[in-house]
Amino acid sequence: MIVWRKASRSNTSGGNCVEVAQRPGSVGVRDSKDPNGPTFALSQETFRLLVRDVKAGDLDKP
């Protein structure tokens, strides 16, 4: 069974929210507002790099 958890920066005001789940050999990611919608899996290394870039603000809109 995959257990999803909401990202710590997500809020209840309808903003950008994601959920993540540890999967065998990967990390699952989905939109928390659409839990039955599409999901995707990232390698653990790719997820680590994504989190690093998000925290650094490298993916913010200009």
Mean pLDDT by 10 residues, the chain (62 residues): 81 74 94 92 96 92 80
The pLDDT, as a whole number, for residue 10 is: 66
Closest to 18 in 3D by CA, of 1, 41, 2, 35: 35
The pLDDT, as a whole number, for residue 11 is: 64
Kindly state the helix (H) or strand (E) to which residue 29 belongs, with its residue range.
strand 26-31
What stretches of 1-62 show up as alpha helix (H) in DSSP? 44-56
The pLDDT, as a whole number, for residue 9 is: 67
Kindly state the helix (H) or strand (E) to which residue 31 belongs, with its residue range.
strand 26-31
The pLDDT, as a whole number, for residue 6 is: 86
The pLDDT, as a whole number, for residue 15 is: 65
Q: What is the pTM of this model?
A: 0.76
